[in-house]
Amino acid sequence: MKLVFLAILGLTIALDLTAPAVTQEMVDHINSLGTTWRAGLSPRTIGDVKVQLGALPTPPERRFPARVHYDVKDLPAEWDPRKEWGDRCPSLKMLRDQGGCGSCWAFGAASSITDRICIATGGRVNPIISAEELVSCCSVFHAPLQCPTDQGCNGGQVGDPWSYWHSKGVVTGGLYKDPDTCLPYSIPPCEHHTTGPRPQCADMHFSTPKCVRTCTNSSIVYDKDKQFGDRPYSVSGVKNIMQELVDHGPVEAAFSVYSDFEAYKGGVYQHHSGSFLGGHAISIIGYGTENGTPYWLIRNSWNDDWGENGYFRILRGKNECGIEGNVVAALPR
């Protein structure tokens, strides 16, 4: 038995990292509630799940100023940018895999930035932004002003990749060993929260890749491949987040993960039971309503055989698990 101690609201709680993250009792309880989502068993332990949760808390003094000048219009009842922009911006349909690394904080940014560049240019430009560079170089060792607390595969704050994009720029980098980009992801894909054809992530824990400033593709010049963003900002308020998505594209957010999230198989998630396990960063891409329940449409970085083909939905308008409390974005320069 391996224990980890969490301090929550002044209480110290011991978690057995070798215990199953989801039990049959939890699944039966959730499915008996008649709630808005479906639960199922997972093969993973609590320790396996925690490795994937790399969103570190952002203290108030490090949060970006909120973008306040929103002209909130008559917003569409639902918004899915894959339907609006998918033909011109294929990145909107790209699912990335963070592998056996707690790099969600970099992936939520890299995928959102990629989409925003394409949308801002009307689909004329669609460079795939490198999660590899953000994971390896956005750190206290290589960019202390922009990324003073980030620890690569051991986690980072969601705002820091956007500060790095603004100040340092980010090169291109596609999926695992993509030969057509500068710095593709070097950690192989794996099965995060289900069984499938890939190796289990629990058997493939990786260290942070080395920060390099040369492209793996020798025909691409690192410095000339850089893409830059304007100054990042926070987005506060449900209507403003919706307007931001419609106007400029996906944003990054972090939320608190409880063990019942590991049981998610589809529907509109809301927390019902289980212990707090850590923070996870994702890309909010849209919104909608199902059977009267409003939701955010989320793109994850755990493969296409997790959740709803790699996506999930979470309750909108109630700051469920803190999903609306730390939303960040920036415009391409």
Return the active site residues. Answer: 104, 280, 300
Contacts of 144 (CB under 8 A, 6+ apart): none
Asked if 241 and 73 count as a contact pair (C-beta separation under 8 A), the reply is: no
Residue 122 backbone zone (phi > 0: left; psi -120 to 50: alpha; other: beta):
left
The Cα 15–Cα 46 span in angstroms is: 8
Instruction: Give start and end residues of each alpha helix (H) in 68-151.
Output: 81-85, 104-120, 131-137
Asked if 276 and 258 count as a contact pair (C-beta separation under 8 A), the reply is: yes
Tokens describing residue 65: 């100023």
Tokens describing residue 207: 């260290």
- CA 146, distance to chain mean position in Å, is 19
DSSP code at position 203: G
Tokens describing residue 270: 């809301």
3-state SS, residue 256: strand
Query: 2 to each of 17, 46, 47, 64, 263, how far by Cα in Å?
Result: 5, 10, 9, 38, 22
Asked if 58 and 326 count as a contact pair (C-beta separation under 8 A), the reply is: yes
